Amino acid sequence: MLQWLRRANDGLGRIPPGAVVLATDNAPHIRDSFNFDKAMRTMVVALAPCIAIAFYNTGFQANVNVAVAGVKSAPGWRGAVLDWIGVGYDLSGFWAAVAHGALYFIPVLLVALIVGGLWQNLFARVRNRPVSKGFLVIALLFALALPPSIPLWQAALGISFAIVVGREIFGGTGKNFLNPALVGLAFLYVTYPKDMVGETAWTMVDAFTSPTYLELAARKGPETITWLGTSWMQSFVGLTPGAMGTTSTLACLIGGAFLLYTRLASGRIIAGVLFGMIATAVVMNQFSIPNNPFITLSWHWHLTLGSFAFGMVFLATDPVSAAMTDTGRWIYGLLIGAMVVVIRVANPAHPDGVMFAVLFGNIFAPLIDYMVVWANITRRARRSG
């Protein structure tokens, strides 16, 4: 028996003939008040600041576009609703921005919740299992990362791909190896790139285009942001064009602090992503590539532009698809942070880079954990002789 225990500690796990194996009478599970449902509710609370930004900034950018286009009302049914309510399009009006933003964000979120819920119920019935509430967080992450002018049928298609292909075909909750929300977003990006990252994706007025600040920086250099009169603090707060709920670094950090306090997110992953981005950006700033001014973008602008903070706090820390070992989490985070900068510099056509960087990290997470575990086994074997 002592020999078997020694082999088990070495990772072999072989039971010799004649060994007595004892089994417990009851399931040896630890019962804790912090269960899966509470974890999902905690995640929703952490996303609340980003949801607030989705309402306000989406409406604010829509009102800006209405003012720049010189039209009296927003197009379509949203303009009719706003005119009926009478909130107007005042750029300094809080409720004018919130009301306009709600008409973009709420329909997308409802489509994601309804369609995702239908798929979740279907698979639960087929497998004779209770309905998991995990699709609520997936739908929220998915909706927050979409551009405001995304067609609703594309949102339905994307959340279907996220639930079915991103999670359920692997067995359901806890068995997927990729972040389901990112799987749905990547599907839409590859299938409908114009509607996801084109200049018309960030505007709410017909025949009017407006690139994001990341795209402007990629084309004409980081100084373009200064020409627009945008301060770093404005970018940090999130009052810039972009996906509905991912523009505010401040909102993401507030949510991240709550996740760290509740121990739902790994501080090692968040710190690794941040340090990986800073180190790679500093190295990139030492070089000069012709016709690629994006390489000169400093790390503090990388932090606030695009979806970096959102990906660092809410997407990279997904407990299912991220690395599990302590050392592996550092490596996983550093890899994602470095890849964000590399993608932004090497592929200005898709300057955000966060979605593909996190998916890249998800793919390598099992390999990272495997290498960390075997490194520990090898070190202990050498130490014990």
- For the chain, helix, strand, coil in percent to 5 are 65, 0, 35
How much is the pTM? 0.84
Cβ atoms 240, 212 nearer than 8 A = yes
Q: Which two tokens stand for residue 349?
A: 């056509």
Q: Where are the domains of the chain?
A: 37-210, 247-385
Whole-number CA gyration radius for the chain = 23
pLDDT per residue as tens, the chain (385 positions):
444 444 444 444 455 566 555 555 665 555 556 666 788 889 999 999 999 999 999 999 888 888 877 777 777 888 888 888 888 888 888 898 999 999 999 999 999 999 999 998 898 888 888 777 778 899 999 999 998 889 999 999 999 999 999 888 888 777 888 899 999 999 998 898 877 775 555 555 543 445 566 665 555 555 555 545 567 788 898 888 888 999 999 999 999 999 999 999 999 999 999 999 999 999 988 887 776 767 888 888 889 888 899 999 999 999 889 999 999 999 999 999 999 999 888 876 667 889 999 999 999 999 999 999 999 989 888 887 6
Q: Residue 59: CB partners within 8 Å, gap ≥ 6?
A: 96, 97, 98, 99, 100, 101, 102, 103, 104
Looking at residue 292, the DSSP 8-state letter turns out to be -
Q: Helix count (H) and strand count (E) of the chain?
A: 17, 0
DSSP-assigned letters across all residues of 206-220: TT-----HHHHHHHH
Cβ atoms 63, 100 nearer than 8 A = yes
